[in-house]
Amino acid sequence: MSREQGSLSINSENIFPIIKKWLYSDHDIFYRELISNGCDAITKLKKLSIMGEYEEVDGEKYRLDVIVSPENKTIKIIDNGIGMTVDEVKQYINQIAFSGAEAFLAQYKDKTNEEQIIGHFGLGFYSAFMVADRVTIDTLSYKPGSTSVHWESEGGTEFEMSEGDKETRGTEITLYLNEDSYEFSNEYRAKEVIQKYCSFMPVEIYFTNADAPIEEKKEEEKEEIIDAEVDADGNAVENSDADDTEANEEEKVEDKEPKPINNPTPLWTKHPNDCSEEEYKEFYRNVFHDFKEPLFWIHLNMDYPFNLKGILYFPKINTEYDSVEGTIKLYNNQVFIADNIKEVIPEFLMLLKGVIDCPDLPLNVSRSALQNDGFVKKISEYITKKVADKLSGMYKVEKESYEKYWDDISPFIKYGCLKDEKFRDKMKDFIIFKNLEGKYITLPDYAEANKEKANDKIYYATDLQQQSQYINMFKEAGIDALVLTHNIDQPFISQLEQQDDKLHFQRIDADLTDSFKEEVAEGEEADKLKEKTDALTELFRKVLNKEKLEVKVEKLKNENVSSMVTLSEESRRMQDMM
């Protein structure tokens, strides 16, 4: 092949400043782009092999290598995938900047707000130039008789191409980092980024720090062996027998076996029938670093009409005031995209913890476009439906578990009902409430049991201690009440009332029902009551400094209670709102 030189594309001088600006907040994304290109190259080769267009060598292992050199400030990303011929480099690398840039500019030139962007997809290879001054590609195509290609470019606007010397199939990308980006050749930083984006990419990724002092490792091992030969009192153990030494050596050999830093077959890619309870829990611990066990989970597995897989966990909430903050990690073909993309995942589901992998998502569009995308809406509705199905199914066939989990899941369900009409419609018959005896009942249950004494009201307590006097009175009178202690309960019951005008909730310490009052006959007693009312009205008006305050005095049936002050439900709610 003759030496060739040229200019990348007419748009290239515009594109780099924009790329840099656009991706400024997360320039670590180049790792994801280059590694996912390597994965793609391997996936393509596997496909060709299935189609019979490529014959796999016996025992062939596909792999990706990331090799950093903090001393030289370089990063190499090597795959043994499909590789590229000269023509392919010309077409995909040299021209992508052209076609890519056009699409890119058309889509983003007016959108400087980084918040808008989700995927950073479609930028791919050129993201390398965010962190590198010089990038080289060495590649050899799987096609028989191909010659290898060496490509390089400084700053990304001009390239040089020549025959290369790569002898093995695949592609090797080398980044010579720019001054601001040296950190990415640091072992810990590199691993951190790779783990963020590539933990579940479908090909094994091996990480090497080329400058890691090998000697040091040996020293450590030596020390360990020495340690092992000293007993608890610090005396050298005399006769470490041959067996021990053998075992030690075996261990060492095992230790040296390099392990991939990712998991190419995450749990969500398996069929739900093939996953054990322990696997689900372990996956939860690993991904969310939450060592409280999840309550239960939903494994989403859908092929039609769109492709969607994932696992949603209901986390354990510690106290009723625990802020519930979930994370839903979104993937596209096992490539991490972002956490909590609210355009795709209904907001109330963000209280859960989970992973969702949807290869069909159009991620290279802006967020606002995503919001109006009918397909995205369908995905979001599907997820909502699955969650509601799981919960209602549990209510129907595992009532005991449902009740057991209720305190933990009810804030989530109530929030869902407040936020999502479809979810509410599906869940409304499966909302339960704890009553004064600690039993779980539905609203129809309550109405039925209290229809004689409750005056069509639904009484509720919000604080078992503060309202204990009222609670006792209710218990004595044989009227039940619901216990609603979470701060989502107030908006939730307001919504129930709005949905059904026959429902009236009333706090247990608001206006008393007739069952607690005694009729006062005309005559002396009534006059006395009138006197008291006038006196109390004057007193309260003065103390509260409210000229027009209405005070009503009534006689209690219960002789154990000397007096109580109540505030009407309406006034109290008004006050709460203020």
Q: Find all residues with CB under 8 Å of 496, minimum gap 6, and list them.
A: 443, 503, 505
Instruction: Quickly count: other Cβ atoms within 10 Å of residue 461's Cβ.
Output: 23
Q: Which of 12, 30, 32, 33 binds ligand ADP (CB under 6 A)?
A: 33
92 binds, among ligand ADP, Mg ion, none (CB under 5 to 8 A by kind): ligand ADP
Residue 86 binds ligand ADP, judged by CB under 6 A? no
Q: Which of residues 121-150 bind Mg ion (CB under 5 A)?
A: 124
How many whole angstroms separate alpha carbon 16 and alpha carbon 28? 16
Q: Which residue in this structure is represented by tokens 């589901």?
A: 349
Residue 93 binds ligand ADP, judged by CB under 6 A? yes
Residue 25 assigned as binding residue? no
SS (H, E, C) 115-174: HHECCCCCCHHHHHHHCEEEEEEEEECCCCCCCCEEEEEECCCEEEEEECCCCCCEEEEE
Site size toward ligand ADP (CB under 6 A) is 15
Residue 79 assigned as binding residue? yes
How many whole angstroms separate alpha carbon 31 and alpha carbon 28? 6
CB 152 within 8 A of CB 134: yes
Residue 37 binds Mg ion, judged by CB under 5 A? yes
How many whole angstroms separate alpha carbon 206 and alpha carbon 260? 5
How many whole angstroms separate alpha carbon 130 and alpha carbon 132? 6
Q: Which is nearer to ligand ADP, 124 or 346 (CB)?
A: 124
41 binds, among Mg ion, ligand ADP, none (CB under 5 to 8 A by kind): ligand ADP
Nearest approach, Cβ of residue 36 and Mg ion (Å): 6
Closest CA to 132 of 7, 64, 33, 260: 33
- Span from 116-124, 194-202, 511-519, 545-553 in contact with Mg ion (CB under 5 A): 116-124
Q: Which of 92, 176, 206, 430 binds ligand ADP (CB under 6 A)?
A: 92
Residue 80 binds Mg ion, judged by CB under 5 A? no
CB 151 within 8 A of CB 136: yes
Closest CA to 515 of 459, 442, 468, 571: 459
Residue 415 binds ligand ADP, judged by CB under 6 A? no
Residue 84 assigned as binding residue? yes
- Span from 121-129, 210-218, 437-445, 558-566 in contact with ligand ADP (CB under 6 A): 121-129
Give me 377's structure tokens: 């809406």
How many whole angstroms separate alpha carbon 227 and alpha carbon 268? 42
Report the SS3 class of residue 360.
coil
What distances in angstroms separate CA 113 from CA 296, 333, 368, 370, one per listed residue? 39, 27, 12, 15
Q: Beta strand 458-461 with 482-483: parallel, antiparallel or unpaired?
A: parallel
420 binds, among ligand ADP, Mg ion, none (CB under 5 to 8 A by kind): none
Q: Which is nearer to ligand ADP, 31 or 505 (CB)?
A: 31
Nearest approach, Cβ of residue 363 and ligand ADP (Å): 11
Report the SS3 class of residue 379.
helix
- Span from 9-17, 62-70, 75-83, 149-157 in contact with ligand ADP (CB under 6 A): 75-83
Q: Which of residues 125-144 bind ligand ADP (CB under 6 A)?
A: 125
How many whole angstroms separate alpha carbon 54 and alpha carbon 147? 17
Radius of gyration in angstroms for the set of CA atoms belonging to the chain, rounded to a whole number: 34
Q: Which is nearer to Mg ion, 148 or 333 (CB)?
A: 333
- Span from 37-45, 340-348, 420-428, 452-460 in contact with Mg ion (CB under 5 A): 37-45
Q: Beta strand 458-461 with 505-507: parallel, antiparallel or unpaired?
A: parallel
- Span from 33-41, 250-258, 318-326, 329-337 in contact with ligand ADP (CB under 6 A): 33-41
> Which residue minimizes CB distance to ligand ADP?
124
Nearest approach, Cβ of residue 6 and ligand ADP (Å): 17
Q: Which is nearer to ligand ADP, 125 or 474 (CB)?
A: 125
Residue 373 assigned as binding residue? no
Q: Which residue in this structure is represented by tokens 């209710």?
A: 474
Residue 262 assigned as binding residue? no
Residue 171 assigned as binding residue? yes
Nearest approach, Cβ of residue 334 and ligand ADP (Å): 15
Q: Which is nearer to ligand ADP, 38 or 264 (CB)?
A: 38
Nearest approach, Cβ of residue 417 and ligand ADP (Å): 41
Summarize the annotated binding site for ATP as residue ranges: 33, 37, 79, 84, 99-100, 171, 367
Binding region for Mg ion (CB under 5 A): 37, 124
Binding region for ligand ADP (CB under 6 A): 33, 37-38, 41, 79, 81-82, 84, 92-93, 96, 122, 124-125, 171
